[in-house]
Amino acid sequence: MTTRSQTVGAIAAQVELAEMEPAKGLKFLILRSRIAQDEIELDIIASDIRKEAQELVALLGGHPLALDQAGAYVEETGVSFAEYMRLFREHRNILRYR
């Protein structure tokens, strides 16, 4: 279970996740989305894809769960990071309250 609520009572143990540093967030997002299969491939990612991924990490505030969800969506649908950002911005208010 994930929540932003501070009151989880006895149903869960609270574990706070810190924001990821930009470089770690970038690495995590690219590997999670399967744009690169391993760390060796990270060095040969096209600069435009790397730039879009950096922008997405910043947009999502380096939050690990948000980066994981974004990476999973990119992997599953094949959309670009730029398209994901467009969709996120378009539907941000709806997502915030669900």
Q: Give the pTM.
A: 0.80
- Could you tell me which of 38, 46, 32 has the C-alpha nearest to residue 74? 32
Mean pLDDT (the chain, rounded): 87
Assigned domain for 4 exists: no
Length of the chain: 98
Assigned domain for 10 exists: no
Q: What is the pLDDT of residue 6?
A: 65
- pLDDT tens digits, residue range 52-76? 999 999 999 999 999 999 999 999 9
Assigned domain for 6 exists: no
Q: What is the pLDDT of residue 41?
A: 85
Q: How far is CA 23 from CA 18, 62, 78, 90, 93, in A?
A: 14, 10, 23, 26, 27
Q: Which domain holds residue 59?
A: 18-96
**CB 54 within 8 Å of CB 26:** yes
Assigned domain for 74 exists: yes
Residues in the chain with pLDDT values less than 50: 98
Assigned domain for 9 exists: no
Instruction: Write the single-letter amino acid at 68.
Output: D
Kindly calculate the radius of gyration of the chain based on its CA atoms and give it in whole angstroms.
15
Assigned domain for 59 exists: yes
Domain count, the chain: 1
Assigned domain for 70 exists: yes
